[in-house]
Amino acid sequence: MNNKRQLKRRHLIYYLRVFDRDKDKLIGHLADINQKGCMLISTKKIEINKEFNMKMLLPNPIMGSEELIFSTHSKWSKKDINPDFYLTGFEFDDFPSQKVKIIDKLIDDFGFND
């Protein structure tokens, strides 16, 4: 795991569903997020150092979007404290400013004040 993270990951009040767009299949649920990456919780181990095209369903439309579509790379994966689940960290590919604004709004509207 990379301990050089510059932005704090934020937990949301929802575990939003995240899908692999190429396979149209649920990958996992969002555990935390920031402008640079996210962590998913899943029932299956996710391969690391792999590129993914993802789609995350938003709890409410944000700036006219009901979903966030993005590309990312899996960086690490480990068993969750609950042995039935895995945690996987992802780093986002470069986002246009519109997608960064959607993530910021998502955190503002649904993030825990931790």
pLDDT tens for the chain, 114 residues long, are 444 445 555 556 567 899 999 999 999 999 888 888 899 999 999 999 999 999 999 888 988 999 999 999 999 999 999 999 999 999 998 777 888 888 888 888 777 565
**Residues 32 and 10 sit within 8 Å (Cβ to Cβ):** yes
Show the tokens assigned to 79.
């068993």
Q: What's the confidence (pLDDT) of residue 107?
A: 80
Alpha helices in the chain (DSSP H): 97-110
Show the tokens assigned to 2.
């990379």
Which residue is it, tokens 């692999």? 20
Q: What's the confidence (pLDDT) of residue 2?
A: 46
Q: Report the alpha-carbon distance of residue 13 to residue 26 in Å, rounded.
A: 19
Q: What's the confidence (pLDDT) of residue 14?
A: 61
